[in-house]
Structure 1
Amino acid sequence: MLTQFTGDGLLQLIDSQYQHLLEASEKATLRTRYILELKQLKASLVKLRSQALILATSVGLTATEKTVPPDFTRLISDAAMQTILKRRWTEAWDCIDAKAYLAATVMMGALLEALLLARINRMTDKSPAFTSKCAPKDKTTGKTRLLQEWTLNSYIDVAHDLGWIGKASRDIGVVLRDYRNFIHPEKELTQGVSVGDTDCRMFGAILAVLADQIIKS
């Protein structure tokens, strides 16, 4: 599977970065140089992980054209929120067509988070979500954090723990989360990852699968 990544030289780059670290360990290298080398290596490994997860979990998925928004009424009773989600779903694909790929990715990540939050809010008894081993805890009190303090990663992990989404869906959801985080310019700069048309359309296919699983759960 890894041979499919050699086209963009990523594996060669990672190998070279490891070699530089090994060579540096045999010399009186400055700490700042080690930190720089490790940051660059981490960025490459994050990119490789994302590509590997996309390849491993997207079997049967194809990059999609614009898709019809799912039936949010099965998950959300508020008509105003249904309208907002439908509009944003359409806007995400409009962003792809306009070549605003990062904007599309950010919107898809936000949609996924909104759907997971809605799924928790649909629960009459929310205790399973708050007592899940994956629920984020306050480091001081040890208590589960309020929902508004959860990250997308927490929502994804809890959704998998409660059986709303499968393991493959959880893994690929994490990739979408990683790419959404490139909304921060510093992350895009340090990790050197860009999002293209094919990436976005694959994320769209992934979001459609996740939305279907969440709504039906």
Structure 2
Amino acid sequence: MSSITTIEKRHLEDLFEMSGGFVLKFSNRNRFAEAVRDATGLDIEDSRYASQGTSMAKRLRAFWSQESDQVAGRLISAFVSYAETFNSPDPKMVATCRQIARRLTGESQSFDSITESQFLSHEYPEVKFDHLPIESGFVPVIQQRWQEVRKCMDAGADLSAIILLGSMLEGILLGAAQSNSKAFNQSSAAPKDDSEKVLPHWKWNLSQLIDAAYGIGMLKLDVKKFSHALRDFRNYIHPYQQKISGFNPDQDTARICVHVFRAAVNQLSKSQ
């Protein structure tokens, strides 16, 4: 039995659009069952998940109540990524639900134990892009944007620096996916269309690219987790999303994002 609280269930049900008996944008029960099976290996059509009713939403609620924290957390994490791919959810809601998934899977403890100061205290080499697993013609573009980030930091344009860093990380991971297509496509994080065919890489979002890079060993767990934080901040490129979140990134936030980017570049370069 999972330890999902009543408040957490409300957050999850809001993100997964469960009020009408459906879950997310699953057009039929088979797609829903396949998604659950891919994430957990379990059959949500089993009769034991019909204790509250037979709709997709009621089966999911029963699944949460009966399965372990680890299993429930894995499914929640997969559905959060699905929501980001096919919906346009509030970034704050996404971050809240991701944290629920991390708590359930046990990742939140290790994530919280890595404080900002501890993460920042780890020294990484000066950023060099020559050994990234991307096409060489893409490197000058990244180098130019890196110089722009440094100018933004010097000028106190913290949000601009964060947005640039997020776009650079996404571009580098997209390049890595294109250069390592087979490995990325075989990752459990690879998004698929209605026919279960992996989507072309240019349709992957940053969350999926981060998770896939971690899944195939290009990124380590700490950098994966802080990269998701950078992704959340990067979404403030949309003023409305920043307004509803009520958060204003400052110099400390920008410094952490720079460090995340440097760490990601270092780890991706070593994966060559």
Q: Same fold (TM over 0.5)?
A: yes
1:105 to 162, 178, 181: 162
How many residue pairs are counted as aligned between the two chains? 173
- After superposition, the C-alpha distances for 1:8-64 in whole angstroms (9 at most, x for unaligned) are xxxxxxxxxx8xx9xxxxxxxxxxxxxxxxx8x959958x99xx9577364543389
The answer as to whether partners of 1:54 and 1:175 remain within 8 angstroms in 2 is: no
Indicate the residue corresponding to 2:205 in structure 1: 151
Given the alignment, which residue of 225, 229, 232 partners 1:175?
Answer: 229
1:137 alignment partner, SS class: coil
For residue 191 of structure 1, the aligned residue among 214, 228, 245 is 245
What code does the residue aligned with 1:133 have?
S
Distance 2:228 2:236 in 1: 13
Q: Which residue of 1 aligns with 2:187?
A: 132
Aligned AA (2:127): P
Amino acid corresponding to residue 184 of structure 1 in structure 2: H
Shift of the 57–197 alpha-carbon distance from structure 1 to 2, 3 Å rule, reads: same
- What's the CA shift string for 1:50-80, capped at 9, x where partnerless? xx9577364543389xx9431324534434x
Indicate which of 122, 133, 145 corresponds to 1:75: 133
Q: 1:214 Cα deviation (Å)?
A: 0.7
Partner amino acid for 2:238? Answer: H
SS in 2 for 1:62: helix
Percent of matched pairs sharing the same residue: 24
1:96 aligns with 2:162: no
Is 1:85–2:142 an aligned residue pair? yes
* 1:114 corresponds to: 171
SS of the aligned residue for 2:119 comes to coil
8 Å contact from structure 2 (residues 166, 230) kept in 1: yes
**For the residues of structure 2 that align with 1:176 and 1:151, how far apart are their CA atoms?**
13
The residue type paired with residue 106 of structure 1 is: I
Q: Could you tell me which residue of structure 2 aligns to residue 35 of structure 1?
A: none
1:214 paired to 2:265: no
* Aligned counterpart, 1:34: none
Say if 1:70 and 1:60 are closer, same or farther in 2 by CA, change over 3 A. Answer: farther
Residue among 92, 95, 120 paired with 1:62: 120
With structure 1 as the length reference, what TM-score do the two structures score? 0.68
- Cα distance, 1:68–1:116 mapped onto 2, change above 3 Å: same
Mapped to 2, the partners of 1:195 and 1:77 lie a distance apart of: 32
TM-score, scaled to structure 2: 0.56
Q: Whole-Å Cα distance in 1 between the matches of residues 132 and 176 of structure 2?
A: 10
Whether the 8 Å CA contact 1:73–1:82 is kept in 2: the answer is no
Contact kept, 8 Å, 1:105 with 1:200, in 2: the verdict is yes
In structure 1, the gaps of 5 or more residues are 1-17, 22-38
Instruction: Measure, in 2, the Cα distance between the counterparts of 1:143 and 1:184.
Output: 31
Which of the pair has the greater relative contact order for Cα pairs under 8 Å at 6+ separation? 1
Structure 2 counterpart of 1:3: none
Structure 2 residue runs of 5 or longer lacking an equivalent are: 1-6, 11-89, 101-108
State which drifts further: 69-78 or 127-136: 69-78
